[in-house]
Chain A
Amino acid sequence: MLFDWSFALEILPILAQAAVITIEATLIGFVLALLLGLALALARMSRNPFISFPAAGFIEFIRSTPLLIQIFFLYFVFPKFGIVLPALVAGILALGLHYSTYCAEVYRAGLENVPRGQWEAATALNLAPMATFRDIILPQAIPPIIPALANYLVALFKETPLLSAIAVLELMQTAKIIGSDTFRYLEPITLVGLFFLVMSLVSAALIRQGEAWLRRRRS
């Protein structure tokens, strides 16, 4: 079976459309992971055990179960509780939820790296907890962890094909459909693989650039 270039060209527009869904799911899922992750990190670090314990348990639970099961759970089991989500929404939610637990641990490391003296100086200046967090702690905690967070963005991106399991029309699912319709899998699957390869390589290069920039800025 030889690679059919004209066929590849023919299906490219369809795949390009699906790529938009893939990127959408990636970006929305990641924003969700970032926000939820910060909330989880704060809950996890809370001095109140009624907050920190459940947060720690939730993080552990999500990290110890496969993303695919979480996707299935949101899509197939939630309706049993009366929560019916469109496949794309369930998929994005699962991605965001799953990666929020990884982001939470990254945030925690970043927050714990801010010296205690910074909190003490903020207290001595009578800054409110919110202002301390927003103006003093976060601006110091975030820059060093940007590379780690960006790596999870790439990881999340590479897991979007799992959404094909609940028939979200992202790249993988689209390629599968093209394959079963035309009995040609080589071209669609290869193109999808290439797309992920190129995007991942580009992101990795960007992250390296970003890291170097951060290092320069901090010295």
Chain B
Amino acid sequence: MDPIVSFQGVTKRYGYLSVLKELDLDVAPNEKVAIIGPSGSGKSTLLRVLMTLEQIQEGIIYVDGQPLTHMERNGALVPADERYQRSVRGKIGMVFQNFNLFPHMTALQNCMEAPMNVLGLSRQDAQARASELLEMVGLADKMQSRPNRLSGGQQQRVAIARALAMRPKVMLFDEVTSALDPELVGEVLNVIRKLGDEHNLTMLMVTHQMGFAREFADRVCFFYEGRIAEQGPPNEFFTDPKNERTRAFLSAVLEAH
């Protein structure tokens, strides 16, 4: 099957620092990919360039068969402009480590803003869609609450509902449980599990939850210094890592827990 996301020779630099180095990565529709690796290895950057929050310097990214970073002009591919990117970006949704909810809006309004403004949904339709999603993440009773009245776990679940309200084909999760108190991690992971079952969604998730990655992902990618040093199905990956660095990383992580 054609990949829904395809990185081809992607290089991302900050000044002289290469954060992604000629990266190739294909993700199949509906695939769940866990991305792990040491801090600073480029995991967030991978998601951020896919969300078009950062521009890449070399290579090209395709989403659902369409170039994301480039557009066609007179038969040639040129860097995409903002307007073109908006037309492709809608297929992708993202959930952030720090939630980034809109603090001046209720949970419901957070989930209605983009569907109304971007997709042109009527207020009723947007509200119906938003309440359904908030129910799905277990927040039926918190719809009228502002983010500062919600726990971290609840805020993150609103953020997931907000992203889903745009009906993306690909969801990006960047360490979405890292800012949470330990007892709140479970409720967020449960919502992600549920998404995996119910929705026809491709997911890329950066995580430090090795247990969850193992149980949930179809594939685990280990990042090291801007490259994928090793990848494979979780069972193989965790029981028999081939790469020296993977082994060192896994044993360091396991020791910490």
Contacts and interface: CB of A to CB of B under 8 A. Distances in A.
Interface of A: 115, 117-118, 120-121, 123-129, 131, 135-136, 139-140
B133 to A, nearest CB: 13
B86 A128 contact: yes
Interface string B114-136: 10011000000000000000000
Interface residues of B, number: 24
B51 interface: yes
Contacts of B175: none
A125 B118 contact: yes
A121 B104 contact: no
B89 interface: yes
Given A120-B53, A136-B102, A126 B96 contact: no
Of listed B98, B103, B162, residue having the most chain A CB within 10 A: B103
Given A117-B96, A139-B104, A124 B53 contact: yes
A124 B98 contact: no
A120 B117 contact: no
Contacts of A131: 113, 117-118
Contact of B100 (A117, A127, A139): A117
Contacts of A140: 102-104
Contacts of B94: 124
Nearest to B89: A126
B166 interface: yes
Contacts of B113: 125, 127, 131, 135-136
B52 interface: yes
A121 B82 CA distance: 16
B117 A121 contact: no
Contacts of A123: 51-53, 89
Of listed B86, B94, B102, B118, residue having the most chain A CB within 10 A: B102
A117 B48 CA distance: 12
B98 A126 contact: no
B101 interface: yes
B104 A125 contact: no
Nearest to B165: A125
A135 B96 CA distance: 20
B103 A128 contact: no
B139 interface: no
Given A117-B96, A140-B103, A140-B104, A124 B117 contact: no
Contact of A125 (B52, B103, B114): B114
Contacts of B118: 125-128, 131
Contacts of B162: 125
A131 B118 CA distance: 9
B163 A124 contact: yes
Contacts of A139: 104
Given A127-B113, A131-B117, A121 B102 contact: yes
Nearest to A117: B100
B110 to A, nearest CB: 9
A144 to B, nearest CB: 12
Given A117-B96, A121-B96, A127 B102 contact: no
A131 B116 CA distance: 11
A117 to B, nearest CB: 4
A219 to B, nearest CB: 8
